[in-house]
Every structure is written in structure tokens, then in C-alpha cells.
Structure 1
Amino acid sequence: MELRDIEIFLALAEELHFGRTAERLRVSQARVSQSIKQQERRIGGALFERTSRNVRLTPLGERLRDRLHTGYGEIMAGIDEAAATARGQVGTLTIGTFGPHHQKIAAVLDLFRQRHPQCELRIREILPADPFGGLRTGRVDVGLLWLPAREPDLTVGPELYTEHLVLAVASDHPLASRDRVKIEDLGDHPVVDLEGPIPDYVWEAHTPSVTPAGRPIRRGIAVATLEEAFTAIGTGSVVSPIGGYVAASRLRRDITFVPIADGPILRYAPVWRSASENTLVRAFVQAAGDAQKTT
């Protein structure tokens, strides 16, 4: 039975009038009659009782109507949803990352572009001092942020990758000659602080406030950008844990990066504003999950 024949049958079951059914579906009355006769021949029984004055369903027709009504509704809902999704995937999606971190999700970006070539994908930088600001202002649709992100208005997606921290120190700093350092060493040197609305619990995951032995780690110069942090570190007045991926892209003669033997491991995941979730955001998260399965 063709979908159009099902539509004709269900419409006639509601209207119980061949003329009104034809008008409703914008077909000829003969087309309605022909379709019903074909269905009855195929099934092997009458679906409607017809007289000169009225049309009504037979018991067989009533059972068929009840069974087809639900299935037809599901089919049409699926078609409508697919059409809405296709329309939603034409537009612009802005991804925010820290510095060069978009290169860490190159496979995700490539897969998303393959699946949705009509969508423009933009990359914008997120400042560590304000990781959630771009999401809340709409400047960024999805942010690739280190965890945790325990914000009531934000949704966190699947973890995509991790990053080890290294310690950035001035090249003539006493720690610069070490093969590696430990978090306990930070109790002896002030560290960079962030000047911005970053929640304390987020910064704590990156730069702890106490050493494993419980000694306080002093906060020194407050900075708003990575460049400001490197400038302050280069003077020797502060040190700072830095993501290893960012450090590798910012090699400088005045700064040495020393591995941290027991440093925190940053876990990164896509984060988006719950109220702004749409088909593009869901498509990106789907691509992220699928790309992970193939790596």
C-alpha cells in the first residue's frame, strides 16, 4: 500500500464522504474511489459500506484505521523532523577554543564539514580568564573547555581529549634547569593569577591553591591573556602551569617549560548554553562522538 493510498484511506475514514475527501486532498473524487477499491481488492474485504446517502467504516475498516493511524503519524513526524533538521543545518556554527586547541579536534571539524557542507564553521578564541562569557553572550555556540564546568545554564558534552601541564618559568629561573618539577615545588614560588570572571573551582583544576602537603600556593601577578602571562613569567616574578599543547605552540627564548611529574591532567569537552541548543549544536556533538570512535 502506497503512502498516498494510506493518506486517502485515513482521510475518508474521518470525512466519511468521497467529495469532501477529494477536496481535502486536492485530488479527484474518482482518484479517491479508485484508491479505496484497490485497497479493498488487495486486502480481500470491504473497508467501507456505501449507500446513496452515507459512507461508514466496516468493522474491518475500523481495525485498519486504528492500526494505520498511529503508524502514519510516526512516519509523518519522522519526515517533518528530518526536514527540520536539514533546514537547521544550513547556517553558521561558532566553535570557541583556547589558543590553537582547534587543531586538537581537527578530526571532529573535518567530519562535521563532510556531513554538513552547507553550514559555515567558525573558530573563535576563548580567553582562559573568561571561559563561559562567550557562550553566555552568544559569541560562541560551543566552547571546547577544560573540566569541570558545573554551571546550571550550561550543558557538558562527551570528553574529547586530555592535556598534561608543564611549568612555565623564566629561562634563568632556579627551576629552569630541572628535568621535572612537582606540584609541591609551587609552594616556594608565586604563580600567575587570572584577572577575569573564571570561577574558582575551574581555576583550581588548572592551578591548585595548595600543594599536596597542604602548603598554600601564592597567587602573584593577575593577567587577562596568555600573552600577558608569558610576559610576567619572562620577568621571573611568577611561574605558571601551562597546558602542554599551548606551550608547544609558544616556544620562546625567555621562557623554559619544565614537565610537572604529578601535575593535574586537563580533560576537555564541548560545552554549550542549554537554552541555545539547536540542531547544529547536536550535530556537532554527534560528530565529536563519532570521530572519537574512529580514533
Structure 2
Amino acid sequence: MAQVNVQELECLLTLAEELHFGRTATRLGCSQSRVSQLVAGLERRVGVRLVERTSRRVELTRFGAQFVDEVRPAYETLTTVLARARDRAGRGALQELRIGFHGSVYEEVTEAFRRLRAHHEVTMALSEIPWGSPFSAVLDGRLDAVVAELPLREAELTVGFAFPPEDRLLAVASSHPLAGAARVHAEELAGLDLLRPTGDAPDYWTAAHAPHSTPSGAPIRSTRGITTVQEGLVLVAAGEHAMLVCRPLSERITRGDVRYLVIDGLDDPSRMALIWRTDRAIPQLTALAGLLHEEFSGAKIPG
């Protein structure tokens, strides 16, 4: 495939805004003939005319307008990344990892982040990801890694560190008939309306967090989807729905109108993991995985 010159893209995007070769040349600090050369070069690479130029006006062809709309986001992302890199280099700033997470971040995780900065000169840019989209942001490169719940069956992704397994609990309203019990059996889920994560998660992942049936095969209703854990807890508190959550979340998010019950009879516990793209296992991520292992195994090196 013919390689596209970034200067050619910049020229076309500027021309698409100005629709005038002279003003485009002024903005780019070059001659009008150079603008013509860059546009012509891009058209040769793409293999189709992008710009129509007459004695009276300049306009994009239909394909040119579509091409501009599609390429502009990628070009803006590239220029942003380059600007950030130049800024960090100019300031001698630390390297940065972009990490997504579900719900809340464990104290052990934040301690691993602190140690990564102190010993490896890497900072964290954290962002919460939708409950029903655990993997998309790392797959498309918007994030370097995510701390999300398993299971994971994507060949493009790698589990860098799997957190210790935790109990899966049932969240119900404090007014719910089950709320007075400390435990509930998995078969009782058949009488509930379970909230399910909505998004672009694989079907197997969604089913793990809102199963379609009990272990014996009894169907479980699920009439409402949610995008965040907080949204789910609000709906649970209203009394019409229930939701499966992990024990650490129940310990970090307490509400007077929600009760968390241990579920007996479920084979698979809840488990979080640090996940990254298999082809982007950079040293900073493997260092973070090692620090997480130390934090959760108790084999931490002082500092």
C-alpha cells in the first residue's frame, strides 16, 4: 500500500477549510505551487481525484469530502500524540501510561502506581471505562491497559496480572424480601430481574456478569441494561432489579438502601485483571504487573 505523507494530509485538511489555494499556502507557510504539488501527490497515492479547481472556485469532490471526514480524526489524534511527546521531552517529564478501570481502584493498585512512578519514572492517566465495554478502548489503542473483570478470550489481549479471586455477591434493595438473609442460593436468581452490562463486550463476558440461567438451567430474567456500576446500584436501590457485584466493590461502595448477599452455588468467582494488547507488551506495563504481584502476594520490596 502506498505510504501517505503527513504533510500532504495537513495540506488537504487545510485546503478543505479554506477552499482557496492562496490562503492555504499562507497558513502553511509555503507557495501555492507547493500546495498544488502536495494535493496532486496525495491524489496519486489515493488513486482518485480529491479536489476540483476551476478559475472561479475550489471544492472537494464527493470522494474528497468523504476522505477528509474519515482522515481528520486520525490526523488530529496523531498531532496530539506528537505534541504531547514533544512537551514531555521538552520538560523532561515522566513517561505516561493510560489505564482504564471498572468501578473503583483497590488501594494495592494505587500503591503499585505510586511505586511505578517512584522507581520507573512512569505516571498514570486514569479513566473509568463503561461496565459493558471492558476491552474496546485498549483494543483500539485509546488506552494502554485496563483493570477489568474476567473472563477474557480475546487472542489480541493478554492478562498481565490476575488479581486474587473474590466472592461474587448479589446486590438487592434493603426493602427486598431477600435482604434480611446473609446468603442466597444461586437457584434463587431465577426469581429476580438481573441488571446486565450493555456495550460492546463479547457475549461470553456479558453472560458471566448477568447469567441467562441458574446452575440447574432455570431461566433468569434481565429486562434492563446499564453502562456503569453506579447506575446499577441506583436501580437496585429502587427495588425492581438486582445485580451481581464483586466483594471488593461491596466494601468500597456502601449504601443504606442496598444489601449485599453472598451467593452459594455459583462456580465462578469474580476476578479482576490487568489487561493489555498482546502486541503492545511494553516494559512499563510488565513492570506494573510485577509490582501488582508484589502488592497482592505480600512479597513487596521496600520503597
Give the TM bin, normalised by the shorter chain: 0.5 to 0.7
- The equivalent of 2:199 in structure 1 is 196
Gaps spanning 5+ residues in structure 1: where?
1-86
CA contact (8 A) 2:95 2:122 kept: yes
In structure 2, list runs of 5 or more residues that go unmatched. 1-88
* Structure 2 partner of 1:223: 226
* RMSD over equivalenced CA pairs, Å: 2.2
Contact kept, 8 Å, 2:96 with 2:122, in 1: the verdict is yes
State TM-score, norm by structure 2.
0.62
Match of 1:214 among 204, 217, 221: 217
Question: Aligned match of 1:283 in 284, 287, 296?
Answer: 287
Change (3 A) 1:162 1:98: same
- TM-score normalised by L of structure 1: 0.64
Question: Aligned letter for 1:219?
Answer: S
CA distance in 2, matches of 1:166, 1:123: 26
Q: Distance in 1 between matches of 2:265 and 2:183?
A: 10
SS in structure 2 opposite 1:92?
strand
The residue number in structure 2 matching 1:269 is: 273
Distance between the aligned counterparts of 1:91 and 1:114, measured in 2? 12
* CA shift in 2, pair 1:236/1:115, >3 Å: same
Once the two structures are superposed, the pairs formed by residues 48-127 of structure 1 within 5 Å of their partners are 90-116=94-120, 118-127=121-130
Say if 1:112 and 1:287, in contact at 8 Å, map to a contact too. yes
Distance 1:254 1:292 in 2: 32
Alpha-carbon offset, residue 162 of structure 1: 2.1
Shift of 1:90: 4.5
Residue type of the alignment partner of 2:198: E
Q: Distance in 2 between matches of 1:277 and 1:126?
A: 21
Match of 1:254 in 2: 257
SS of match in other structure, 1:140? coil
Deviation at 1:191, TM superposition (A): 0.5
2:160 and 2:274 in contact (8 A); partners too: yes
- In terms of Rg, which structure is larger? 1
> Shift of the alpha carbon at 1:204?
2.5
Identity, in percent, stands at 29
Q: Distance in 1 between matches of 2:295 and 2:239?
A: 42
Contact 2:148–2:273 (8 Å) recurs in 1 = yes
Q: Return closer, same or farther for 1:160/1:250 CA change in 2, 3 Å cut-off.
A: closer
Checking the alignment, whether the CA contact within 8 Å between 1:205 and 1:266 is kept in structure 2 is no
- Give the distance between the partners of 1:229 and 1:99, measured in 2 at CA: 11
Residue 155 of structure 2 corresponds to: 152
Q: Is the 8 A contact 1:111 1:291 kept in 2?
A: no
2:242 is matched with which residue: 224, 239, 243? 239
In structure 2, the residue corresponding to 1:158 is in which secondary structure? strand
